[in-house]
Amino acid sequence: MGAKQSRRRLEDEERDQMDESCDEIHLDGSGTDRSGSATASLISFSDSDAAVEALKDACKTGNVKQVESLIRSGINVNHKYVIGLTPLHFAAIHGQIAVAKLLRGAGADPMAETTDEDRLSPLRIAESEMNQELFDAVADDPPAKYQFQRRLIGPFIMTLFLLSNIAFWFFLILQYDAFDGATWCFPWSLVFAILFWVNLILVNLLDPGTVEDEDVEYIADLRALSKDEIEVFPVKNVTENERFTLHETGETFIWCRNCKFWKPQGISHCFECRRCFTRMDHHCFAVGNCIAVRNHRFFVIMMLSGMTAWTVAVISIFLELLPYNTSEDWWPVGANEVQLYLAAGWVATSSITILGVVLPFACFHTSALICNFTTKTCFGKRGLGKNGLQINDFTQMKEVHCMALQCRDPPDTCSESGGGSIRDLTMPEGRVP
Ligand SMILES: [Zn+2]
Ligand SMILES: [Zn+2]
């Protein structure tokens, strides 16, 4: 049975069920309001029969206010009605785009299947409607909650970590005369610590390299090539993204359902930032931003300077510990020995972290700026490409090191990704059954 017929049958089934149950629907829980236009304030409970029925009605009629109010009251947006239908199924069947977006934002599952033999999901229904906007509302991942906080929490923790290390170093040299000689490192560490912090702010504030329409519009021409020049890989299920390969160059282009364009090699979508970036490396929660073509260089400077500041401070204290090389200096533990243990503990944990984590990470990213690889190409499905690992050519060097800077958009505009002008490509041939 085709998706369209199945949808019609679902509607009938759901109507029958509604006829049977409508006598029991009491929107305010007391049986007084039968008008179907109950105001949101009347529903003050969640997941009672009346509330879930009210949610169903609101989804069908597109009553956004009612749905909003019910979601606020904590209703289960994945409630299963007859044959496993969910509120999102109703929104999709009745083409309620705004409601579908609301439900998705509240965690509604687009893949929830009905329990009958057709096993229809809201996504499948939205797809069969051939309505791009509805499909997007059901398919697109909703914006992450607390975007602003998610952006700041990483840099805040990093700053706290930096300050606590500086404070501990000061504690050692001010509290114990034994470490007085370590003060030589202060100006050096301070310069690199400031460099670290400035670059942390830059990486957080800069646009990582958002892909603009004009960067990818040319692909429409490639898509128009004849069948023997390109090979299209059809999708096996609706959550997959379609791709095509040019026979001549072997280059593969993958459809980005969220940004509505074909991604060439090197462009990847970040589900946290909700957009595609050029030469994307990874999304870094520690800096609260993606690392891509525009801010990768500052990310590397940040790591190298942070590592240098920390290493210099650790060496300064390590040198002060060297004269204490007999067991009498360390045992039995008295007031004087505690200072040595504190300092040695800090030197040891810092050294292990620097050598085991920070140094390999910094080396990897420094090499990534020099050679043509990123974390994505190293560990991702697409791999390094046909050229393998090699030193960047002049154009690539220029792109990675000299690309013009720009601030990134404020969080509230992040959900609207670019690429709208080539929407005609959103449902390519063969995409919809
Ligand atoms: Zn994208
Ligand atoms: Zn990101």
Question: What pLDDT, in 10s, does the model give residues 258-297?
Answer: 888 899 888 999 988 888 999 999 999 999 999 999 999 9
Ligand 1 centroid to Cα of residue 215, in Å, is 13
Asked which of 28-42, 156-170, 382-396 is least confident by mean pLDDT, the reply is: 28-42
Interval 301-329 mean pLDDT = 94
Asked which of 47-51, 95-99, 176-180, 371-375 is least confident by mean pLDDT, the reply is: 47-51
Ligand 1 centroid to Cα of residue 275, in Å, is 4
Residues of the chain with CATH 1.25.40.20: 3-139
* 30-39, 153-162, 326-335: range with highest mean pLDDT: 153-162
Asked if the model's pLDDT at residue 343 lies above 80, the reply is yes
Asked if the model's pLDDT at residue 333 lies above 60, the reply is yes
- For residues 84 and 338, what is the distance between their CA atoms, to the nearest angstrom? 65
Name the closest ligand to CA 275: 1
Sign of CA dihedral 294, 300, 303, 304: negative
Task: Provide the pLDDT confidence category of residue 384 given band limits of 50, 70 and 90.
Answer: low
Ligand 1 centroid to Cα of residue 302, in Å, is 27
Q: Give pTM, 2 decimals.
A: 0.74
Cα separations in angstroms, 5 against 12, 121, 124, 131, 136: 11, 14, 12, 17, 22
Q: Which residues pair with 254 in a beta bridge?
A: 243, 263
Name the closest ligand to CA 284: 2
Name the closest ligand to CA 290: 2
- CATH class of the structural domain 3-139: mainly alpha
- For the stretch 420-424, contacts whose Cβ atoms lie closer than 8 Å and that sit 24 or more positions apart, written own/partner, are 420/213, 420/260, 421/213, 421/217, 422/213, 422/216, 422/217, 422/220, 422/260, 422/261, 423/132, 423/260
Asked if the model's pLDDT at residue 161 lies above 90, the reply is yes
